[in-house]
Amino acid sequence: MSERATVKSAEPDGDPYVLDPSGVVDPPTTLRGRFRHLGPGLLISASVVGSGELILTTTLGAQAGFALLWMVVLATTVKVWVQMELATWTILTGKTAIQGYSQVGRRWRGASWINVVWILAEIPSIMKRGALIGGSAAAGSLMYPIVGESLSGRSLVAWSLLITGVTIVLLLTNKYKLIERFSTASVVLFTLATVVLALALPLTPFGYSGGDLVSGLQFAIPAGTLGIAIAMFGITGVGADEMTAYTVWCIEKGYAKFTGPNDGTEAWAERARGWIRVMRVDILVSWLITTGCTLGFYIIGAAVLHPQALVPSGNEVISTLSRMYTDTLGTWANGLFLVAAFVILFSTAFAVGAANTRLWADTLARLGVYDFADQAMRNKVTRILIAVIPTLWMVAYLFVQSPVLMLQIGGTATAVFLVAVVISVWKLRSTEVPKEFRSSTFLTTMLALSSIAILLLGAYTLYDTFS
């Protein structure tokens, strides 16, 4: 099949969760062709840039200065190898991560202890997603209160209801392409603006030097920053939630369906290798975007907010973060920041909502609530969850009203669940991934190193929490 024919078949026909020989498509053979099939990684970038990067990473920079720059690099890099291995398994089997988790250890009603841990981690993660509603509501209230004064209780409630309602309406379309386009545009524009501002800081009164950057790579943790540092590790870059969701987007993009069912032939193996290469390029692009944006926000927080002892907190988080723009570019930039912050936080809530409702629909199927293979019922369950889950996020925000604290709670839970994901990846790799797809010494070594780092952090997080 020609490269052009492959490109035209960019979206799978029928149910993407069903593998059949009629759905196979030869993978692109050029880098340009692979770029035309990117998408899942951009959705994941949209899921992390708005909350972890904009709010939590900047807050960490404001608290610690440049001292924790090394952890930012570690957090955005070390988890990629686990994500890549889990996605490889998905392309080869056509199964989601939730389905894979159900195969690890003893099963109860179709679920395993990994599924239970995921459910338990989802409870505090409601806080993390509520912070998206709260952050975007705060940005909207500062732009136009609707009722009352900016950041007043009435204004925040009005904006929270509006944002939640619009999110639900958009998600009910349940279209992968719409979600991908919306998320991609917002992430690319906001990332470019952030990186440009971070690079331009040396031309402002808040300039930094090469010595500042070097000092941040010395593996030190300043007193009082450990809690938010652990949360940042769990939530920035690809966290456990994003790794799990990435397998869903790989399937809905068509990587698994285009590969087809494993019939033991060399033709299947060649197709699998080709689509795995596309997936790796997709992850690489996502990593570059996420890392660039994360480093940009951290450096801005360390260079602009830290010297002034400005640490975002409560509902003032957005107005404090706006100082990154106004103190460097002038007061005229306040409106620009508010619009940008609102767009990125809202698009993040949209992307996270699309993924989270799918993951819960999958989990309910593992628990025997319905048959996942029934596409009509799956879509119905997903639509119900779309109405329920964002509403829960909104309620959580209106109850706590502290986006930074909410992100810390959710980020810590995500850091712990990463341990379960690592265990699952090694189990699934050893039982369902053919030897030829795990023969790379480099990839195996990187997976092992990243797994050790995640396990050590998870163990320390549990110790620190319970002690």
In this prediction, residues 142-165 reach a mean pLDDT of: 92
**Domain total for the chain?**
1
Q: How far apart are CA 143 and CA 141, in angstroms?
A: 5
Average pLDDT value for residue range 10-31: 86
* Domain span including residue 452: 38-466
In three-state secondary structure terms, 261 is coil
Q: Would residue 391 count as lying in a domain?
A: yes
Q: How does residue 372 score in pLDDT terms, banded at 50, 70 and 90? A: very high
Residues 6+ apart with CB under 8 A from 108: none
The pLDDT score that the predictor gives to residue 7 is 45
Does residue 32 belong to any structural domain of this protein? no
Rounded alpha-carbon distances, angstroms, from residue 8 to 3, 11, 33, 192, 253: 9, 8, 11, 29, 13
What are the start-end ranges of the E strands in 52-164? Answer: 107-108, 111-112
Share of the chain above pLDDT 90, in %: 39
pLDDT of residue 1: 43
Determine the Cα–Cα distance for residues 352 and 242; give it in Å rounded to an integer: 9
| Mean pLDDT computed over every residue of the chain | 85
Spatial distance between the Cα atoms of 55 and 410, rounded to a whole number of angstroms:
13
**Any residues with CB less than 8 A from the CB of 309 and at least 6 apart, and which?**
none
| Range 360-367 average pLDDT | 94
pTM of the model: 0.88
Alpha carbons 28 and 198: distance in angstroms, whole number = 36
Residue 255: pLDDT above 90? yes
Q: Is the residue at 314 inside a domain?
A: yes
DSSP 3-state assignment of 467? coil
Instruction: Average the pLDDT over 104-117 and give the result.
Output: 86
Q: State what percent of residues in the chain have pLDDT above 70.
A: 91
Q: At residue 438, does pLDDT exceed 80?
A: yes
Which pLDDT band holds residue 6 (cuts at 50, 70, 90)? Answer: very low
Is 31 inside any structural domain? no
Pull the structure tokens for residue 214: 């070097």
Rounded CA gap, 149 and 315, in Å? 13
| pLDDT score for 59 | 82
Q: Are 56 and 404 in contact (CB under 8 A)?
A: yes
The Cα 195–Cα 165 span in angstroms is 32
Q: The domain that contains 71 carries what CATH number?
A: 1.20.1740
Q: Is residue 12 part of a domain?
A: no
Residue 196 covered by a domain: yes
Q: Does 241 reside within a domain?
A: yes
pLDDT at position 297 is 85
Tens digits of residue pLDDT in 236-254: 667 788 899 999 999 999 9
The answer to whether residue 78 sits within a structural domain is: yes
Strands (DSSP E) along 100-184, which ranges?
Answer: 107-108, 111-112
pLDDT at 156 over 90: yes
Q: What is the pLDDT of residue 51?
A: 60
